[in-house]
Structure 1
Amino acid sequence: MPEEPAMVQVPRPAPHAASSGGVGRRSLLLGTAAWCAAAAGCARSTGPSAATPPAAGVRTPPVGAARATASAPPGRLPAAVAWRPGPGEIEPAAKLAAVRLVEALGTWPAGRGGRSNAAARAAALGIPAPLAAELAAEAGPLTPAADQAVVRVIYAQYGGLLPDTASVLVPCTQSTRTGSAVREGGTTIDVRLDRTPAGWAVTALHPGRPGPAAPLGAPARAVLAQPRIELPPASAADVRSGAVHESVLRAMLRLADTHRMSVSVVRSGHPLNVFGTGRPSDHPVGRAFDVWAVDGRPVVDPATPRSLVTAFMRAAAAAGSYNVGGPVQLSGGTRPNQFFSDATHHDHVHIGFAT
């Protein structure tokens, strides 16, 4: 079945009431000022995403990102850079609410680590203290034991978008310092939100948890070594775990022959079910991947040529995908309903493979 959500017609930004069940204290709109106050050296991005220092084995896209300043001296962390949505976004406020919380939880000055401090940073965004404590407890790999940390968001992509609820997937890198040792890592967080009278509000976090590294076959090794396949930390860890199906790996390599791909998610950090349905997604079983930029051009950006996106979607189908979703509804294909388009896939290309 396609990865389409249960409802795909989402209007452009407009006031909406909260869903019928309501979210009570879990529905406060997130702010942004407290995060910048907590992050030492906070800088603003100048494009649709923040510049991201590469983690080990990870290549991140230079296009569509604010340019990084000079590398941090040994033992020091890079400056925090606040991610901001670029043009073409359907619900930029939902993405901002998700990202600001991820940045606040995963970034702290020296001596302010730990769950209680993470809860305080979440509360400083305007989240009620009980919910802030819950979200800090759910943050998992976003709050490792370290003296200091800086998160940089690579991109914020929809895992699902319905009129009154959303999933925003936030792949990010994270630099941590313990003593004089600096470590580069990162994760992907599935951030759940509800629309309230005040705006979009975070209700839960589901961090990605890739499996341990395993012996790899030639396709996985080739993907990790291919500079035209840009993988965020969690997706690189997915490949290293050996849990990504060979059909996905071979399709990545085939597409990399003609395109540079900025991958947002493979397995870890994606909803288990197609959002808004009870149908299992192809992502958690390692049979799908999402691409947020092609040849350095964000899929969501109106300035990105539609011909580039459609050519990439057709190339994905030719590489064996039975289920290609994106911002454009394509006709044709070698399988029934091989192509689809909806609001969730307005900002990326989904490439899935049959079991």
Structure 2
Amino acid sequence: MLALLVVGCGADETVRQPESAEPQKRAALVPVVTQAPEPLPSFAQYEPGPEERFPNAKRVAGQAAQNLLTYERGATRAAIAARLGLGAEATRQLTESLGAAVKPNAASVAEVIYPQMAGTTATSFGAMVVVRQLLQDAAGRRNAVTRTVDVRLRRSGGPWTVQEIASVGGNEVERPRDLPHAASRLLDDDRVTLTDTARWDIFRGAVDPALLEALSRAAERHRFSVAVLSSGHPRNVWQTDRRSAHSSGYAADIYAVDGRLVVRQPGVGTAAHQLAQSFAGSGVRQLGSPWDFDGPGRASFTDDVHLDHLHVQRSAVGETR
């Protein structure tokens, strides 16, 4: 009886093995279906509006930044840099700096938000191009980054051409947990639109706290968008040897107020004019805008470069840090 019982258990076990293994064998014959990532959108090439004072230069600068940050998966930094047709040294420098904006095994498309002026002469032009970069990794995951790209143009009796991409907007920085109150207040204010480039400057502690406070107070009156604080701005005042206040984190450039570009609000009484006027009355050290509120040689000034943004400096460089 015991032997029969043992044989019976063994027989049952040998019968069950093929039943449990058979589904695995059948499953192996069914091909695995994987869904390809949804393609990235495409954006039209940047075209300036009719209100721009330098439309041809802005078109060249905007499209250069857009083309630079639009690349296929697997593209190398050297190949991306070479597409702009720069000189050998400018291409080499750009290849090195592109590490911040070209992610391994990712595809990228770019949309120009606005190319704000940095400076101009008869033969040179600079634009700080605010670009939204949409990246997609091999698994289809997407990430958006807004960069301020420093584009330099030149010309000599002909059309504008790209001379140099001086910056792609800096390296990504994690937000510290112990940010000062002035920094946290501005970063978390949904009335203020900051590029990621500007946010990283604040994360690094590279911005004048008095400037951050002035911007926060201004947001109580108007919503606005900041193109640049420090990174992405030329080191010197255009075509001079004078260091820009932006380089030390003491100035901010605002390119839109209450959802409209500053360049589209040239009239007195517009939201951009009201915001500029409030800065002028608050005791800022320097204010560049489409309007001069206090006459030549004082804190407020206007020129061709500042027709498309508000330049705000609250303190003298080195004063409040």
What's the TM-score bracket when you normalise by the shorter of the two chains? Answer: 0.7 to 0.9
1:200 Cα deviation after fit: 0.8
In the alignment, structure 1 residue 305 sits paired with structure 2 residue 267:
yes
Q: C-alpha separation between the residues in 1 aligned to 2:102 and 2:157?
A: 30
TM-score normalised by length of structure 2 = 0.78
1:304 Cα deviation after fit: 5.1
Counterpart for residue 206 of structure 1:
166
Q: C-alpha separation between the residues in 2 aligned to 1:138 and 1:162?
A: 28
SS in structure 2 opposite 1:258? coil
SS in structure 1 opposite 2:95? helix
CA RMSD between the two structures: 2.5
In the alignment, structure 1 residue 246 sits paired with structure 2 residue 209:
yes
The 1:352–1:179 alpha-carbon spacing in structure 2 relative to 1, beyond 3 Å, is: same
Aligned residues: 275
Q: C-alpha separation between the residues in 1 aligned to 2:249 and 2:109?
A: 29
Counterpart for residue 143 of structure 1:
102
The 1:338–1:175 alpha-carbon spacing in structure 2 relative to 1, beyond 3 Å, is: same
Counterpart for residue 144 of structure 2:
184
Higher relative CO (Cα under 8 Å, sequence separation at least 6) belongs to 1
Counterpart for residue 133 of structure 2:
174
Deviates more, 1:85-94 or 1:202-211: 202-211
Q: C-alpha separation between the residues in 1 aligned to 2:90 and 2:313?
A: 35
Q: C-alpha separation between the residues in 2 aligned to 1:198 and 1:87?
A: 22
SS in structure 2 opposite 1:249? helix
Question: Structure 2: any 5+ residue segments left out of the alignment?
Answer: 1-35
Which amino acid is 1:150 matched to? V
The 1:146–1:315 alpha-carbon spacing in structure 2 relative to 1, beyond 3 Å, is: farther
Q: C-alpha separation between the residues in 1 aligned to 2:171 and 2:282?
A: 25
1:279 Cα deviation after fit: 1.4
The 1:284–1:130 alpha-carbon spacing in structure 2 relative to 1, beyond 3 Å, is: closer
Whether the 8 Å contact between 2:66 and 2:131 is mirrored in structure 1 is no
Q: C-alpha separation between the residues in 2 aligned to 1:228 and 1:205?
A: 31
The 1:315–1:184 alpha-carbon spacing in structure 2 relative to 1, beyond 3 Å, is: same
From 158, 172, 177, the counterpart of 2:117: 158
Q: C-alpha separation between the residues in 2 aligned to 1:146 and 1:352?
A: 41
Question: Structure 1: any 5+ residue segments left out of the alignment?
Answer: 1-72
Which amino acid is 2:156 matched to? T
Q: C-alpha separation between the residues in 1 aligned to 2:38 and 2:200?
A: 25
Whether the 8 Å contact between 2:118 and 2:233 is mirrored in structure 1 is yes
Counterpart for residue 338 of structure 1:
299
Which amino acid is 1:156 matched to? P
Which amino acid is 2:128 matched to? L
From 53, 63, 66, the counterpart of 1:90: 53
In the alignment, structure 1 residue 227 sits paired with structure 2 residue 190:
yes
Counterpart for residue 230 of structure 2:
267
Residues 75-100 of structure 1 show CA distances to partners (whole Å, capped at 9, x for unaligned) of 65333242221122111111111121
Which amino acid is 1:276 matched to? Q
Residues 223-247 of structure 1 show CA distances to partners (whole Å, capped at 9, x for unaligned) of 1111110111111221222211111
Counterpart for residue 197 of structure 1:
157
Residues 245-274 of structure 1 show CA distances to partners (whole Å, capped at 9, x for unaligned) of 111111111110010111111111001111
SS in structure 1 opposite 2:294? coil
Counterpart for residue 77 of structure 2:
115
Higher-Rg structure is 2
The 1:138–1:82 alpha-carbon spacing in structure 2 relative to 1, beyond 3 Å, is: farther
Q: C-alpha separation between the residues in 1 aligned to 2:145 and 2:126?
A: 23
Which amino acid is 2:311 matched to? H
Counterpart for residue 280 of structure 1:
243
The 1:241–1:74 alpha-carbon spacing in structure 2 relative to 1, beyond 3 Å, is: farther
